[in-house]
Amino acid sequence: MGVEASFWRAVAVFRVASLGYAALLLAGADGYPHPAAGWLVIGVMAGWTAVTGIAYPARRARPLLAADLLVTLACLLASPYVQGPAAGSAGVMPLTATWVAGPVLAWAVHGGRRAGIAAGVVVAAANLWLRGLAGARGLDLSAPANGAVLLLLAGAVVGHVSRLSRRAEERMQRATEMAAAGRERERLARGIHDSVLQVLALVQRRGLEIGGEAAELGRLAGEQEAVLRELVRGGPPPADRPGGAGRADLAALLRGHGSASVTVSTPAGPLLVPAAAARELAAATAAALDNVARHCGPDARAWVLAEEGDGEVTVTVRDDGPGIAPGRLAEAAAEGRLGVAQSIRGRVAALGGRSRFVTVPGQGTEVELTVPVDPL
């Protein structure tokens, strides 16, 4: 993400600046017992600064963060050897100087304020332990304690700001996607209005004028025109018979498909599921029944069974038709016939569910649609 990358660049700049500050302190120091070891530690710090500057923007795995903390602690704990015991008792800043705050900032950017505080506690504890050795000799520990508080505050503040920035960027991304989807919907709506909706309106008007069976076709065309207009406007159709906040009675929707050739079996009471799931399952069931009427002949019978259990709703549509020839569904999808692929499987997949087709030539077809639902 762009905002997070900016944080990692800021951490890299802080490390480089802190490294330069530590090198200046070592260069200006006199009387250290092991100055060569000090420059070796500075070299390790420089190498690790380069490694983290390259690795963190590309990969922020926990092993890398843990290694960052361990390398920093090792460099910090090398200070007594390089500077000698007199430096600690005199209150001299450790060899690493402010460079030790690097992993605290990295943990905060990666994991938020809790991770930043945890890393700050580890680094501050190590620093206080070093100063505690001198504190036994009567050294005032107020300065190291203030440094520990600053580490904890840095981890908390940076982690909090990083998390807030990440959330703000995600919201901005969603808003951008929604705006793009809205523009695409408007573009499609103009095309549909100039073609499909006008044809449906014409069919409705002419069907009502002719009367008879044509009037029924006109009525159906008018219903589909209203649904299509609602879809292109971007709002979902209203829930049918809501059974609570955002819920609808799936059993009532399915019983609407019952007829002389279609037997619908549902629980005795309402089958309350999220309204969107109820509409999509009812539409997928209607598509399956439409396939029965289209491909199985006028004398075919169908049975619809709805049941609920284990956080799922399953709707089964079974018919006594001739069945589906092996490979026919794949051929139909390849030919651009998307009734099964989109109207049935696509709807169920969009709800996070699964669909299963069981067919035996000459013995009918069974379509099982299972969708997870939240309990009341």
> Concatenated DSSP letters for 271-313?
-EEEHHHHHHHHHHHHHHHHHHHHHS-TT--EEEEEEEETTEE
- CA angle at 228 for the pair 329 and 260, rounded to the nearest 5°: 60
CA diameter of the chain? 109
Which conformational region is residue 273 in: left (phi greater than 0), alpha (psi within -120 to 50 degrees), or beta?
beta
Q: How many CA atoms lie within 13 A of 30 on its CB side?
A: 0
For residues 121 and 174, what is the distance between their CA atoms, to the nearest angstrom? 36
pLDDT of residue 60: 65
Q: How far is CA 23 from CA 16, 19, 45, in A?
A: 11, 6, 10
- Measured CA to CA, the distance from residue 342 to residue 333 in angstroms comes to 9
Token pair of 22 as six digits: 């530590």
Contacts of 287 (CB under 8 A, 6+ apart): 339, 340, 343, 344, 347
Residues 6+ apart with CB under 8 A from 325: 361
pLDDT number for residue 316: 94
The per-residue pLDDT for range 319-369, each reduced to its tens digit, is 988 887 777 666 666 555 555 666 788 888 888 899 888 888 778 889 999
Q: What is the pLDDT of residue 142?
A: 55
Q: What is the pLDDT of residue 242?
A: 39
Is the pTM value of this prediction over 0.85? no
- Tokens encoding 111: 């994991």
pLDDT value of residue 346:
84
Q: What's residue 342's pLDDT?
A: 66
Q: What is the pLDDT of residue 13?
A: 92
At 46 the pLDDT is 92
Residues of the chain with pLDDT under 50: 134-139, 235-244
Give pLDDT, residue 232. 62
Gap between the Cα atoms of 73 and 135, Å rounded: 20
Average pLDDT of the residues of the chain = 80
Query: How confident is the model at residue 337, as a pLDDT?
Result: 55
Residues in the chain: 376
CA distance 219 to 201: 10
* 201: CB partners within 8 A, 6+ apart: 221, 222, 225
Q: State how far the Cα of 278 lies from the Cα of 254, in Å rounded to an integer.
A: 9
**pLDDT for position 136:** 46
Q: Where are the alpha helices (DSSP H) in the chain?
A: 2-28, 35-58, 62-77, 79-83, 85-89, 101-111, 113-135, 142-194, 196-210, 213-232, 250-255, 275-295, 328-334, 347-350
| pLDDT number for residue 208 | 81
The letter for the amino acid at 128 is L
The whole-angstrom separation of Cα 352 and Cα 354 is 7
Give the model's pLDDT for residue 212: 79
CA distance 162 to 244: 39
- Please state whether beta strands 354-359 and 365-372 pair in parallel, antiparallel, or not at all (unpaired): antiparallel
- How many CA atoms within 13 Å lie on the side-chain side of 313? 28
- Cα angle 349, 350, 352 (rounded to 5 degrees) comes to 65
Round to whole Å and give the CA distance between 229 and 222. Answer: 11
